[in-house]
Amino acid sequence: MDRTAFGSGVRDALPVIVGIVPFGLVAGVAAVDAGFSLPQAVGLSVFVFAGAAQLATLSLVERGAPFVAVVATALAINLRMGLYSATIAPHFRKYETRWRALLSYLLIDEAFALALTAYRERDVDPRWYYLGAAGALWATWQVTTVLGVLLGTGVPDAWGLEFAVPLVFLGLLVPAIRSAPHLLAAVAAAAVAVYGAGWPFNLGLLVGTAVGVLTGLLAGAVRR
């Protein structure tokens, strides 16, 4: 175990954890609103481990949506993980399958952004840095989800916990914009995602992600 890399990952995750805490509380409260018991909420959190997908799933369950629609929505939202995994996979190619399976389970937006930034800027052990950062985020998410379930509807709306969700992603996005192609990709993805906010199965998010990636690639090719 590379304790230096692991500790570095945990430390880098600390600022993100500040935003993860209210996000997890919101997910726990949403589970209560959807009629989930504590074991059911914990099972969903551990099995899915994807905040946006969990919140969308719980919202649909609360509204009595068909099972197929719930599953399709969760899959559509999480398809972006395929793009993340393809980008970060070269850093883990040398590790055994069991390690890659564990690392893939821990893949979320924040872990991906933290790891990719660290790999570009520092010479760290990819596996242990990622486990430190992603593991800290996973543990925080599970604990805060449980707390949210236990608190239930006792969390006042005036706290505005749901506002922490976009702040977390903005905090990760802004430092990652380092060039004109990055900026164009971010703007294009945001514009499409906002425009498609009302599309079925949350396709606006998926299409926005694809448009952002293509815009960044085209802008980078033109720049060369």
Domain ranges of the chain: 3-161, 177-224
Instruction: Write out 80-92 in H/E/C secondary structure.
Output: HHHHHHHHHHHHH
Over residues 95-121, the pLDDT tens digits come to 888 899 998 999 988 898 899 888 888
Q: How far is CA 31 from the centre of its chain?
A: 18
pLDDT at site 181:
81
Is the pLDDT confidence value at 6 over 60? yes
pLDDT at site 53:
80
List the one residue out of 221, 121, 138 whose CA is nearest residue 181: 221
The mean pLDDT of 164-169, rounded to a whole number, is 56
DSSP run (H or E) holding 95? none
Please state, rounded to an integer, the average pLDDT across all residues of the chain.
81
pLDDT at site 134:
93
Structure tokens at 173: 């996005």
Evaluate whether 17 touches 135 at the Cβ level (below 8 Å). no
pTM greater than 0.85 (yes/no) = no
If DSSP codes are grouped into helix, strand and coil, which group holds residue 49? coil
Task: Give the integer Cα–Cα distance in Å for 92 and 112.
Answer: 13
Tell which wins on pLDDT, 73 or 168.
Answer: 73
